[in-house]
Amino acid sequence: MTVPAPAASRFLPGEKLALWLCFAFLLWANWITPLWADDYCRTIPFSPRMIFHIVWGNYFFWTGRWFITLVTFFILDLHHYGSLAAFAVVNAGIFVFLVHVVVHMCRRAAGHGLIPTARTGFAQCLLVFLMLWWLPRTIAEVALWKTGAIGYLWAVTGEMWILSRVLAGRTRLNVAQYGAVFLIATAMESISLLMALFLLGWAAWAWKNSRPVPWALAASHALGTFTLGIAPGNYVRARVMTPSSPFDRLDGLIGNLGSLFDPFWVPFVLLIGIGLFVGRRQIHFPACLRCGRGWMFAALALAYMLLLFIYPREALAARVSYPASVFLVCYLACLLFSCPVGPVLSRVMAVTCTGLAVMHLAIVIPDLTMLARISHDWQVSTRAQVAHDQPVVLHQVTMGPRHKLLYVHKDIIFVGINPNPRNQLTMCYAWAMGASSVRAVP
């Protein structure tokens, strides 16, 4: 049974409970996930002068992501003062906010004007969370790794917030919000460029059709994108990368598509397929695949992946595809919300949601607990060897056949600890732990 939705409704029935449960899990996951890789390079003793010096140097000699780099340094430099607790709370809150934004943006885009029951609202919100967690193959690098979460999860969440306001027609912001839009646009080159083009196109469309034109919003975002794009460090970094021919870039881009799709797509696609089949008398196939304006998210995912063609193959890390994964989740969410919810689909959703939640906890809890234990053992061993003034030698840990289920999709956990003691990340770990040198052995 559904009733017309009030215009000012901020939460769906059942949504608050689902978000609180997601927040509780995310808080635990962020708290138990140890530092790794570049995190150790950011845990220098707190010094504003040193931080600004490094950020300034990075902008001119390595990367244009000055604001995100600055935030990362300020957060991780306070590691010894308990800032990781604050990070866990903030990062969990940002992921939950992303879930909230996706749920409401996609319901609006799908043209769903009815309030679901509390049971249905709870299940839909939880399913969106599970899709955002399981569909991107690199969730650890973009949501749990401290440096990666600030650089990717926070950036994408900000862009989704901007997109949701545009699609809702709420483009008039206050001065602080325009400043936030500018800073969001300085976070990640690829998604920033795509959104800048989208906003300028949207503004031009609105002007042509005599609609309110969001020039201020588009200009704020474009200025942030411009500040990010002209950074000398981008071009310095590009020159040290292996040159890529167009064919090589295309091959790398096709390979990067593997970062978008995992076997974990299957249960969500099956659930949505069942929903569309059950409601086939109320919705028309294949027209229903447009989902109102939901098709726009699939188009944005495709446009984003095509945009990556301008980057050298060496720059196409799997985590770079994360924004496309989020756009595809948005499209699936629109399909989910367009399914008429009757008794049959309600029961199917309840069973599926329960099963996926149990699977989620059964995989995530042991895996993250294992990572935390390995990190703890390494730190204990490192401190013991440092106390005896010895060069630190650690056991190299690999995941074997199970490593693809883990959230660090690499054979060697904590990338910085490897057999080469002169590797930059290994040296960062040694510096953070007060060791003269660190190396790993099989």
233-272, pLDDT tens digit by residue? 988 888 888 888 888 888 888 888 877 887 888 999 999 9
Assign 124 a pLDDT band (cuts: 50, 70, 90).
Answer: very high
**Closest listed residue to residue 205, CA positions, set 233, 166, 170, 243:** 166
The residue extents of the domains of the chain are 10-364, 365-441
State mean pLDDT over 263-292: 84
Please report where in the chains the tokens 């924004």 appear, as a residue: 323
For residues 236 and 61, the answer to whether their CB atoms sit within 8 Å is yes
| Selection from 154-158, 243-247, 263-267, 288-292 with the highest mean pLDDT | 154-158
* Alpha carbon distance 239, 315 (integer Å): 12
Assign 3 a pLDDT band (cuts: 50, 70, 90).
Answer: very low
Assign 283 a pLDDT band (cuts: 50, 70, 90).
Answer: confident
For residues 383 and 377, the answer to whether their CB atoms sit within 8 Å is no
Instruction: Inform me whether the pLDDT recorded for 78 exceeds 70.
Output: yes
Q: Which of 121-135, 322-336, 402-416 has the lowest mean pLDDT?
A: 402-416
53-67, pLDDT tens digit by residue? 989 998 999 889 999
Percentage of the chain lying above the pLDDT 70 cut: 93
Give 319-358 as a DSSP string.
GGGHHHHHHHHHHHHHHHHHS---HHHHHHHHHHHHHHHH
What integer pLDDT is reported at residue 415 of this predicted model?
56
- β-strands 3-4, 114-115 pairing: antiparallel
Instruction: Inform me whether the pLDDT recorded for 314 exceeds 80.
Output: yes
What integer pLDDT is reported at residue 416 of this predicted model?
60
* Alpha carbon distance 260, 433 (integer Å): 36
Contacts of 348 (CB under 8 A, 6+ apart): 271, 274, 275, 278
pTM: 0.92
Other beta carbons less than 10 A from residue 62's beta carbon: 17
- In angstroms, what CA-CA distances link 289 with 13, 131, 318, 422? 26, 18, 28, 53
Assign 111 a pLDDT band (cuts: 50, 70, 90).
Answer: confident
Instruction: Inform me whether the pLDDT recorded for 105 exceeds 90.
Output: yes
377-392, pLDDT tens digit by residue? 989 999 999 998 888 9
Q: Which of 66-70, 122-126, 301-305, 423-427 has the lowest mean pLDDT?
A: 423-427
Instruction: Inform me whether the pLDDT recorded for 216 exceeds 90.
Output: yes
